[in-house]
Amino acid sequence: MEKTTTKKTAKYYRDIFNGTDIRKAISVLPEVIKKYGYKRWSGSKTNDALYIKKYTEFEWNHQLEAFYYVKDKNRVCVGIYWQGDSTDGNDSEWVDDMVYGKTIPAEHEWLGDRTYTRHGDLRISAEEFRNAIKAVAKYLSPEEIKARKIIDRRRNAIDKVFNYIDAKKKGLDRWEMEGFWNGRIAVQKLIELDNGLTDKPWEEIQPIIEKVFTNNNKSDYSLRGGWYNGEKKYNLAY
């Protein structure tokens, strides 16, 4: 009998996270994070974070906001944001320990004159944790995957733009740097207009930012139109 191989698509994982077997959902979290998540640190070789805060609710003094894969332990923990009397912070717990819910005891600290409560008891119910697991299914919906791809593509385009521009400052003297920064600021202003520039291919983006940079690679005196402390007038035409 020929053995069939299950294709592990986003739908395959969605069905697991929408199902009733929470331990099965936990068991596939590492591969989902590595396939669909993000890198927490620039030096990371694999994705190790999956952010679900958008799909979970704030519960009195806390919220479950992410799942993190810890490679050296080959385990996943859930990231918990909390709010205290005068501060906020983050905590984490292994997902295996959260199936039936868990209470993280209150924390206190001495601040010179008296003891303050950093945060009260963080009471995470089994239902709240299950909802966080089900939130992964929402994260893997076609609409959310498409939206993230657009955001990632735009972010990568912006990074490429500024890497290109920043390469221009190599070897400049301190007088030339004034024009460089005016040109760079103009490019940044152009991107902030959200005019669809970062959705274009690099072959179209490059001449546009080159033109805007050149338009504004000038002294403060030139952009202000004289020696006064007025507003600089950037030329964003291309």
pTM: 0.84
Q: What is the mean pLDDT of the chain?
A: 93
- Beta-carbon contacts of 129 under 8 Å, excluding residues fewer than 6 positions away, are 64, 78, 95, 98, 99, 101, 102
- Beta-carbon contacts of 44 under 8 Å, excluding residues fewer than 6 positions away, are none
List pLDDT tens digits, range 59-80: 999 999 999 999 999 999 999 9
pLDDT score at 230:
79
Helix (H) or strand (E) run with residue 131 in it = helix 126-139
Q: Enter the tokens of residue 42.
A: 């620039």
Domain boundaries of the chain, sorted by first residue? 10-140, 146-224
Contact 237, 195 (CB under 8 A): no
List pLDDT tens digits, range 91-138: 999 999 999 999 999 998 887 788 888 899 999 999 999 999 999 999
pLDDT score at 114:
83
d(CA 67, CA 78): 5
d(CA 118, CA 7): 46
